[in-house]
Amino acid sequence: MSKTSDFIEALRADIASDLKAQILAELEPEIKRRLYSNIFDIEEAAKYLKVSVQTLRRMVHGAEIPYFRQRGQIYFRQIDLDVDIENRIIRKDDRQ
């Protein structure tokens, strides 16, 4: 009986290991995309927000949108843009 339970435990461990490897292989591209694509330059942010680069520059100049500068370039964190979008949503209750 001990041999059977040992075999079952070894089989369970093997299946769990294979499942972990499969799940990680499926999730890895999405994890990398999210890790590296959450900082936008001005062109990428304009596309994300569906506005022109000129409009986005006016928004930056007017301090209407969160951004940061690095070595003279303007960058945007996706999470900041998402929060800004959420704050701009007009809800039914807000219209009254």
pLDDT tens-digit readout, 26-75 = 998 888 777 666 899 999 999 999 999 999 999 999 999 999 999 999 99
Q: How far apart are CA 62 and CA 90, in angstroms?
A: 21
pTM comes to 0.59
Distant-in-sequence, close-in-space partners of 49: CB < 8 Å, separation ≥ 6: 56, 81, 85
Q: What is the pLDDT confidence band of residue 95, given thresholds at 50, 70 and 90? A: low
pLDDT tens-digit readout, 18-27 = 999 999 999 9
Whether the Cβ atoms of residue 38 and residue 75 lie closer than 8 Å to each other:
no
Q: What's residue 73's pLDDT?
A: 96
Whether the Cβ atoms of residue 56 and residue 43 lie closer than 8 Å to each other:
no
> In degrees rounded to 5, what are phi and psi of residue 22?
-65, -45
Residue 26: both structure tokens together: 């499926």
pLDDT at 92 over 80: no
